Amino acid sequence: MVIELSQAAYGYDGGELLAELDLHIPPGSFHFLTGPSGSGKTTFLKLCYMELLPKRGSARILGRDVREMTRDDVAFTRRRIGVVHQNCEFLDHLPLAENLSLPLSVAGRDTAEAAADLEELLSWVGLEARRNALPPELSGGERQRAALARAVVTSPEVILADEPTGNIDWDMAQRLLRLLIELNRMGKAVVIATHDMNLIRAAKAHVPARVLRLRGGRLQLAGADL
Protein backbone atom coordinates (compact mmCIF):
# COMPACT_ATOMS: atom_id res chain seq x y z
CA MET A 1 0.00 0.00 0.00
CA VAL A 2 1.24 3.48 -0.72
CA ILE A 3 -1.06 5.07 1.84
CA GLU A 4 -2.62 3.33 4.83
CA LEU A 5 -4.75 5.19 7.34
CA SER A 6 -6.16 3.36 10.31
CA GLN A 7 -8.63 5.09 12.61
CA ALA A 8 -6.72 8.30 11.88
CA ALA A 9 -8.11 11.55 13.24
CA TYR A 10 -7.13 15.17 12.98
CA GLY A 11 -8.55 18.46 14.16
CA TYR A 12 -7.66 22.09 14.70
CA ASP A 13 -7.85 24.08 17.93
CA GLY A 14 -9.09 21.16 19.98
CA GLY A 15 -11.90 20.34 17.54
CA GLU A 16 -12.04 17.23 15.39
CA LEU A 17 -12.25 17.79 11.64
CA LEU A 18 -11.49 14.25 10.51
CA ALA A 19 -12.11 11.06 12.47
CA GLU A 20 -12.04 7.30 12.07
CA LEU A 21 -10.29 7.50 8.73
CA ASP A 22 -9.65 4.02 7.40
CA LEU A 23 -8.19 3.90 3.94
CA HIS A 24 -5.80 1.75 1.95
CA ILE A 25 -4.54 3.16 -1.32
CA PRO A 26 -2.75 0.52 -3.39
CA PRO A 27 -0.12 1.27 -6.05
CA GLY A 28 -1.57 2.16 -9.45
CA SER A 29 -5.02 3.05 -8.11
CA PHE A 30 -7.03 6.16 -8.95
CA HIS A 31 -9.00 7.87 -6.21
CA PHE A 32 -11.10 10.99 -6.06
CA LEU A 33 -11.72 12.65 -2.75
CA THR A 34 -14.75 14.85 -2.72
CA GLY A 35 -16.83 16.75 -0.24
CA PRO A 36 -18.07 20.27 0.40
CA SER A 37 -15.71 23.14 1.10
CA GLY A 38 -14.31 22.89 4.61
CA SER A 39 -14.97 19.17 4.84
CA GLY A 40 -11.26 18.46 5.29
CA LYS A 41 -10.06 17.42 1.83
CA THR A 42 -6.88 19.50 2.05
CA THR A 43 -6.28 18.33 5.61
CA PHE A 44 -6.67 14.75 4.44
CA LEU A 45 -4.05 15.25 1.73
CA LYS A 46 -1.73 16.94 4.23
CA LEU A 47 -1.93 13.81 6.34
CA CYS A 48 -0.94 11.85 3.24
CA TYR A 49 2.18 13.91 2.56
CA MET A 50 3.04 14.33 6.21
CA GLU A 51 2.59 18.03 6.55
CA LEU A 52 0.27 17.04 9.38
CA LEU A 53 0.43 14.03 11.67
CA PRO A 54 -2.76 12.31 12.83
CA LYS A 55 -3.79 13.22 16.37
CA ARG A 56 -5.09 9.71 16.85
CA GLY A 57 -4.87 6.46 14.96
CA SER A 58 -2.02 5.62 12.62
CA ALA A 59 -0.78 6.52 9.18
CA ARG A 60 1.70 4.59 7.07
CA ILE A 61 3.01 6.29 3.99
CA LEU A 62 4.94 4.19 1.48
CA GLY A 63 5.31 1.52 4.13
CA ARG A 64 6.62 3.74 6.93
CA ASP A 65 4.79 4.76 10.08
CA VAL A 66 4.75 8.56 9.98
CA ARG A 67 5.28 8.81 13.74
CA GLU A 68 8.56 6.94 13.48
CA MET A 69 9.95 9.14 10.76
CA THR A 70 12.67 11.69 11.39
CA ARG A 71 12.58 15.02 9.55
CA ASP A 72 15.03 13.62 7.04
CA ASP A 73 12.85 10.54 6.58
CA VAL A 74 9.91 12.82 5.82
CA ALA A 75 12.02 14.68 3.24
CA PHE A 76 13.15 11.42 1.62
CA THR A 77 9.57 10.08 1.56
CA ARG A 78 8.24 13.29 0.03
CA ARG A 79 10.59 12.75 -2.89
CA ARG A 80 8.49 9.67 -3.68
CA ILE A 81 5.23 11.67 -3.53
CA GLY A 82 4.21 14.26 -6.09
CA VAL A 83 2.00 17.03 -4.74
CA VAL A 84 -0.02 19.46 -6.83
CA HIS A 85 -1.61 22.31 -4.90
CA GLN A 86 -4.53 24.41 -5.97
CA ASN A 87 -2.41 27.50 -5.41
CA CYS A 88 0.70 26.20 -7.09
CA GLU A 89 3.68 27.57 -5.25
CA PHE A 90 6.92 28.06 -7.15
CA LEU A 91 10.15 29.88 -6.56
CA ASP A 92 9.19 33.06 -8.37
CA HIS A 93 12.75 34.18 -9.00
CA LEU A 94 13.70 31.03 -10.92
CA PRO A 95 12.74 30.23 -14.52
CA LEU A 96 10.21 27.49 -15.04
CA ALA A 97 12.81 24.91 -16.13
CA GLU A 98 14.76 25.38 -12.89
CA ASN A 99 11.57 25.16 -10.86
CA LEU A 100 10.74 21.87 -12.52
CA SER A 101 14.20 20.46 -11.81
CA LEU A 102 14.07 21.60 -8.18
CA PRO A 103 13.05 18.16 -6.82
CA LEU A 104 16.06 16.69 -8.62
CA SER A 105 18.40 19.35 -7.20
CA VAL A 106 17.27 18.85 -3.62
CA ALA A 107 17.68 15.10 -4.05
CA GLY A 108 21.28 15.69 -5.12
CA ARG A 109 20.73 14.37 -8.63
CA ASP A 110 22.61 15.73 -11.60
CA THR A 111 20.13 17.97 -13.38
CA ALA A 112 22.41 18.17 -16.44
CA GLU A 113 22.01 14.44 -16.91
CA ALA A 114 18.26 14.78 -16.56
CA ALA A 115 18.07 17.66 -19.04
CA ALA A 116 16.65 15.47 -21.83
CA ASP A 117 14.00 14.07 -19.49
CA LEU A 118 13.16 17.60 -18.42
CA GLU A 119 12.67 18.70 -22.02
CA GLU A 120 10.42 15.71 -22.58
CA LEU A 121 8.48 16.61 -19.47
CA LEU A 122 8.04 20.22 -20.61
CA SER A 123 6.84 18.97 -23.93
CA TRP A 124 4.46 16.50 -22.25
CA VAL A 125 2.74 19.32 -20.35
CA GLY A 126 2.94 21.63 -23.37
CA LEU A 127 5.25 24.18 -21.78
CA GLU A 128 8.39 23.72 -23.84
CA ALA A 129 8.12 27.28 -25.14
CA ARG A 130 7.78 28.63 -21.61
CA ARG A 131 10.88 27.02 -20.10
CA ASN A 132 12.55 30.37 -19.43
CA ALA A 133 9.44 32.15 -18.17
CA LEU A 134 9.26 33.12 -14.53
CA PRO A 135 6.29 31.61 -12.61
CA PRO A 136 4.48 34.96 -12.20
CA GLU A 137 4.43 35.20 -16.00
CA LEU A 138 2.48 31.93 -16.36
CA SER A 139 -1.29 31.69 -16.72
CA GLY A 140 -3.40 29.68 -14.27
CA GLY A 141 -3.53 26.67 -16.57
CA GLU A 142 0.19 26.82 -17.25
CA ARG A 143 0.90 26.95 -13.54
CA GLN A 144 -1.26 23.88 -12.93
CA ARG A 145 0.51 21.95 -15.67
CA ALA A 146 3.88 23.16 -14.42
CA ALA A 147 2.95 22.03 -10.89
CA LEU A 148 2.04 18.62 -12.27
CA ALA A 149 5.31 18.42 -14.19
CA ARG A 150 7.27 19.31 -11.05
CA ALA A 151 5.30 16.73 -9.06
CA VAL A 152 6.24 13.91 -11.43
CA VAL A 153 9.83 14.88 -12.31
CA THR A 154 11.25 12.43 -9.77
CA SER A 155 8.91 9.69 -10.99
CA PRO A 156 7.03 9.44 -7.68
CA GLU A 157 4.94 6.45 -6.67
CA VAL A 158 1.89 8.49 -5.76
CA ILE A 159 0.49 11.82 -6.94
CA LEU A 160 -1.69 13.91 -4.64
CA ALA A 161 -3.56 16.76 -6.30
CA ASP A 162 -5.55 19.29 -4.31
CA GLU A 163 -8.25 20.93 -6.45
CA PRO A 164 -5.94 20.88 -9.46
CA THR A 165 -8.62 22.27 -11.76
CA GLY A 166 -9.96 24.86 -9.35
CA ASN A 167 -8.59 27.89 -11.18
CA ILE A 168 -8.71 26.81 -14.80
CA ASP A 169 -11.32 26.50 -17.52
CA TRP A 170 -12.92 23.22 -18.51
CA ASP A 171 -10.76 22.64 -21.59
CA MET A 172 -7.62 23.05 -19.54
CA ALA A 173 -9.11 20.89 -16.75
CA GLN A 174 -9.69 18.09 -19.23
CA ARG A 175 -6.16 18.42 -20.53
CA LEU A 176 -4.79 18.18 -16.99
CA LEU A 177 -7.02 15.20 -16.27
CA ARG A 178 -5.68 13.41 -19.36
CA LEU A 179 -2.16 13.92 -18.03
CA LEU A 180 -3.12 12.49 -14.65
CA ILE A 181 -4.82 9.49 -16.27
CA GLU A 182 -1.69 8.94 -18.36
CA LEU A 183 0.41 8.94 -15.19
CA ASN A 184 -1.97 6.47 -13.57
CA ARG A 185 -1.59 4.16 -16.57
CA MET A 186 2.16 4.34 -15.97
CA GLY A 187 1.52 2.76 -12.60
CA LYS A 188 1.32 5.79 -10.34
CA ALA A 189 -1.32 5.95 -7.64
CA VAL A 190 -3.34 9.14 -8.05
CA VAL A 191 -5.45 10.87 -5.42
CA ILE A 192 -7.36 13.98 -6.51
CA ALA A 193 -9.24 16.13 -4.03
CA THR A 194 -11.97 18.00 -5.88
CA HIS A 195 -15.57 19.11 -5.65
CA ASP A 196 -15.84 19.21 -9.44
CA MET A 197 -18.31 16.42 -10.26
CA ASN A 198 -17.84 16.90 -13.99
CA LEU A 199 -14.16 16.15 -13.61
CA ILE A 200 -14.94 12.96 -11.69
CA ARG A 201 -17.45 11.82 -14.31
CA ALA A 202 -15.00 12.58 -17.09
CA ALA A 203 -12.31 10.55 -15.33
CA LYS A 204 -14.57 7.58 -14.64
CA ALA A 205 -15.18 7.31 -18.35
CA HIS A 206 -11.50 6.42 -18.78
CA VAL A 207 -10.24 4.86 -15.54
CA PRO A 208 -11.78 2.70 -12.80
CA ALA A 209 -11.61 5.46 -10.21
CA ARG A 210 -12.87 5.07 -6.67
CA VAL A 211 -14.65 8.09 -5.28
CA LEU A 212 -14.39 8.84 -1.59
CA ARG A 213 -16.54 11.41 0.09
CA LEU A 214 -15.80 13.30 3.27
CA ARG A 215 -18.94 13.99 5.22
CA GLY A 216 -19.14 14.96 8.86
CA GLY A 217 -15.45 14.26 9.23
CA ARG A 218 -15.86 10.64 8.11
CA LEU A 219 -14.73 9.04 4.91
CA GLN A 220 -17.36 7.25 2.84
CA LEU A 221 -17.25 5.39 -0.43
CA ALA A 222 -19.47 7.37 -2.80
CA GLY A 223 -22.35 5.61 -4.44
CA ALA A 224 -23.30 4.93 -8.02
CA ASP A 225 -24.67 8.45 -8.43
CA LEU A 226 -21.18 9.36 -9.48
Partner 1 sequence: MKARLLGAAALLAGDSKADRVVPPSGFTARLTVFTSAAMAFLAVFALALSLATGRLADRWSDQLARSSTVRISAPEDQMPIQEAAVLEVLRTTPGVADARLMSRAEQAALLEPWFGPDLPIETLPIPSLVEVIESEAGFDPDGLRLRLAAEAPGAVLDDHTRWRRPLVEAAGRLRAFGLIAIGLIALSTAAMITLAANAALAANARVIGVLRLVGAQDSYIARAFVRRFTNRTLSGATVGTVAGLIAIMFLPAADEQGGFLTGLGFQGWHWLWPLAIPPLAAITAFWATRLAAIRTLRGLT
- Residues forming the site for partner 1 (CB under 8 A): 49-52, 71-72, 75-79, 83, 89-94, 98, 102-103, 105-107, 111, 150, 154
Q: List, as one string, the DSSP characters of 103-152.
A: HHHHTT--TTTTHHHHHHHHHHTT-GGGTT--GGGS-HHHHHHHHHHHHH
In whole angstroms, how close is the CB of 96 to partner 1 at the nearest point? Answer: 14
Residue 57 C-beta: closest distance to partner 1, Å: 18
Nearer to partner 1, 30 or 49 (CB): 49
Question: 13 Cβ partners below 8 Å, 6+ apart?
Answer: none
The nearer residue to partner 1, 52 or 212, going by C-beta atoms, is 52
Pairing of strands 81-84, 158-162: parallel
- List, in order, residues 6 or more apart from 50 with CB less than 8 Å away: 61, 66, 69, 74, 77, 78
Query: 37: helix, coil or strand?
Result: coil
Q: How far is the CB of 184 from partner 1 (least distance, A)?
A: 21
Q: Which is nearest to 191 in space by CA: 149, 225, 151? A: 151
Closest C-alpha among 112, 113, 114, 145 to residue 128 = 145
Q: Nearer Cβ to partner 1, position 149 or 200? A: 149
DSSP state, residue 56? E
Task: Tell the smallest beta-carbon distance from residue 76 to partner 1 (Å).
Answer: 7
- Shortest Cβ distance from residue 84 to partner 1 (Å)? 10
Contact 18, 8 (CB under 8 A): yes
**Closer Cβ to partner 1, 118 or 181, answer by number:** 118
For partner 1, which is the closer residue by CB, 1 or 102? 102
Q: Whole-number minimum distance, CB 85 to partner 1, in Å?
A: 8
Nearer to partner 1, 71 or 224 (CB): 71
